[in-house]
Structure 1
Amino acid sequence: MKKSRIEHVKKYSMLSLVEDLGFTLIYESANYYHLEEHDSLKIRVNINRFYWYSRGFGGDTITLCQTLGLEKNPEFQSFIYTILYLEMRMYKNPHHEFKKTKKQEIKLYLPHKDINNKKVYYYLYERGISLDIIDYFINHDYLYQEAAHHNLVFVSYQGSQPVFISKRGSIKNNRYMHDLAGNDYSHCFYILHNTSQLIVTESIIDMMSLMTLTNNFKKYDYLSLNSVSHYRALFYHLEHQSIERVLLRLDNDQAGIHAVHTIVDILNKKYPSIKIDVAYLYRHKDWNDYLVYGIKHKENDIIPFLTVRYVKREKSACL
C-alpha cells in the first residue's frame, strides 16, 4: 500500500472517527476531549493525536481506528481494512464534521447541600485526615455533604466562580467517584495560598493526606489532577501563578510514574527556572495509604520516598 494513502487517512479527524465508530465524545476544553465509554482515553484536537492513560499507549488516527474499531468489528485487525474504512469515511465526510455534544454546553451547578456534614467528617477521619484539615476545607467552601446521596462534594474556584466539582462516596470502601460534566480540566482542583511552591497529587484525598502530614500546609499551593491524564492543568497554573518549585507527589504505579516522566521532561524544556522535586512512596501506592498505615501501626519513622535520579537540582525530600 502506498505511503501517501496511509499519510492521507492519518489526517482524518479523530473526533469524527470516534462518532463514526459509535462512541461518545466528552468535551474537556478547546483542545481536549475524552470518551464517555473510556474516560482515560484523551484526544488532543490541535495535533490530532490520542493517548490512553490507563493502558499506557497512544498514537495517530490509524491506531485509534484499529483500537476502538476492534470493540465493534474484528475485521479491524486487518491494517488494509482499517485504511479502506478511513478512506470511505473521509469520502463521505470530507469536512470532518462531528456532532457538537450537548455536554459541551452543560453549566456547572453545585449539588444541593445537606443540613450537616456528619458523613464527611466520619469518612475523612477514618481515612486519617486531621480534623483541622477537614474544618479548613469546609470553612473555605472547598467541601460539603451532598443532600441527595450524602456524597462528599469537593469544589474548586476561579475567583468566586466554581469551575471544578468532584463527588466521592461517603461509605467506607465505596469507590464511587464522579467529576461533574462541565468541569474545567485546565484548572482541575486547585487551592491557592499565593505561595511559590506547588504540590501536585492525583487525588484530593492524597492532597488532604499531605496537608495532614505537613507542619505548615499553607506554605504550599495544591493541585489535584483527579487523573494523571489531566497533567496539563499543571502548566495552565504555571502560566498564571508565580511558582518557583513544583513538588510532584503522584502515585507509585505505572500511570503515576509515566506521568511524572512526561511532566518532568516538559518542565525541563519549557520552564527551566522552576525547581522540581519528585518523591514516590516505596511501600504504598498513594499518600492516603501511607497516612492510614502510619496511624494504624503508629509508625512515624517510615522512610516514605524513593529518590528519582532525573530530578533537577533537588533531591526528593519530606515536605
Structure 2
Amino acid sequence: MRRSAAAYHKFTEDEIRQANGVDILSLARRYGYEPEKAGRKAVHMKHSGGLYIFPENNRFFQWTGPDDGIKGGAIDFVMREENLSFPEAVGKLIGKEYAAEARQVTPYEKKERGPLVLPEKADNMKRAYWYLVSIRGISPQIVSHFMNRKMIYQEKRYGNCVFVGYDAEGTPRYCSMRAARENSSFKMDATGSDKSYPFFHEGTSDLLIVTEAPIDLMSHASIAA
C-alpha cells in the first residue's frame, strides 16, 4: 500500500466496524486461496496449511503452519496477509489513505552500569543456613559448599540470604538477595549486578541445566546428589 503525505487519520469505531465487516471469504479469494467445504460452518482453504474461514461470523483461524493459532476478523486477516499495521489494514479495507502520525523519536542512550554494591556481611550465617536447609530442604553439604566458596552469605542488616556470582578472575559481578524468612516473598538484585555473571555450579557432565534462581539450582543438586 502506497502511503501519501495525507494528514494523520484516526479511524472511528464505525470505520473499524466497517472494515471488519468486509467479507473474509471474498478477501481470501483475492489473495489467491481456493476454498473447499470442510463442514457446515467452516470453509477450508486448499493448500493453506490449515486455514479455515467461518462465514457465519466472518472470522478465520489458522490451525497449522508458521502462523499456527492466529485468528480474527477481516482486519486481522489483511494484517496477516500483507504484514500491515492495524490502521494500515483498516485504511485498505475501507479505501482511505493512512499516513502515520509523526512522532519524535528519542535516541536510546545506554546507561553505564555502576559498580556492584555488595550488602554487608553478618558475623555468622546461622539464619541463612537454617532457612536454606530447614525451610527450603536443601542438602546441608550443598549449602556448606557454596558458603565455603563465598557464593552465599548472610546479610548483616536484615539477615537476608545473599547469592554472589563471580567473573573468571574471581571478582564479584552479580548479587541477588532473598529473605531468610518462611513467609516472605522478598527478593531483589543488588545495585550494579550484571546478570551475565550468574550464580552457577560447574559439574562434570556436558549437560546444561538452567534454573530461575540460586535456590532452584541447589534444590536440583540436592535431588540429584
Shift of 1:195: 4.3
Over aligned residue pairs, what C-alpha RMSD do you find? 2.8
Contact 2:151 2:199 in 1 (8 A): no
Amino acid at match of 1:105: R
1:181 to 187, 191, 198: 191
2:115 to 107, 116, 119: 107
Other-structure match for 2:221: 211
Contact 2:118 2:190 in 1 (8 A): no
Contact 2:151 2:165 in 1 (8 A): yes
Amino acid at match of 1:153: V
Shift of 1:187: 3.1
Other-structure match for 1:133: 142
CA, structure 1 residues 110+187, in 2 after alignment: closer, same or farther (shift >3 Å)? Answer: same
Contact 1:150 1:169 in 2 (8 A): yes
Deviations 1:1-46 (A, max 9, x none): 85699xxxxxxxxxxxxxxxxxxxxxxxxxxxxxxxxxxxxxxxxx
Higher relative contact order (CA 8 A, sep 6+): 2
Can you give the 5+ residue segments of structure 2 that lack an aligned partner in the other structure?
6-84, 87-97
Runs of 4+ in 1 over 4 A off after TM superposition: 1-5
Relative to the length of structure 2, the TM-score reads: 0.52
Shift of 1:212: 0.9
1:88 to 103, 126, 135: 103
What is the 5 A alignment of 1:26-37? none
Relative to the length of structure 1, the TM-score reads: 0.38
Other-structure match for 1:197: 207
Contact 2:115 2:192 in 1 (8 A): yes
Distance 2:193 2:140 in 1: 28
Greater share of strand: 1
Identify which range, 136-145 or 172-181, moves more after superposition: 172-181
Deviations 1:70-126 (A, max 9, x none): xxxxxxxxxx89x42xx2214xxxxx424554xx23101221100011110111121
Identical positions, percent:
34
Amino acid at match of 2:103: M
Q: Secondary structure at the match of 2:200?
A: strand
Distance 2:173 2:205 in 1: 21
Shift of 1:200: 1.3
Deviations 1:171-224 (A, max 9, x none): 112111101232222332222346423221112111111111112xxxxxxxxx
Distance 1:4 1:191 in 2: 58
CA, structure 1 residues 175+89, in 2 after alignment: closer, same or farther (shift >3 Å)? Answer: same
Contact 1:112 1:146 in 2 (8 A): yes
- Which structure's CA Rg is the greater one? 2
CA, structure 1 residues 185+214, in 2 after alignment: closer, same or farther (shift >3 Å)? Answer: same
Other-structure match for 2:58: none
Other-structure match for 1:153: 162
2:130 to 122, 137, 141: 122
Other-structure match for 2:32: none
Amino acid at match of 1:89: Q
Q: Secondary structure at the match of 1:137?
A: helix
Amino acid at match of 1:149: Y
Other-structure match for 1:75: none
Q: Secondary structure at the match of 1:181?
A: coil
Shift of 1:146: 0.5
Amino acid at match of 2:115: K
Q: Secondary structure at the match of 1:164?
A: strand
Distance 2:196 2:104 in 1: 32
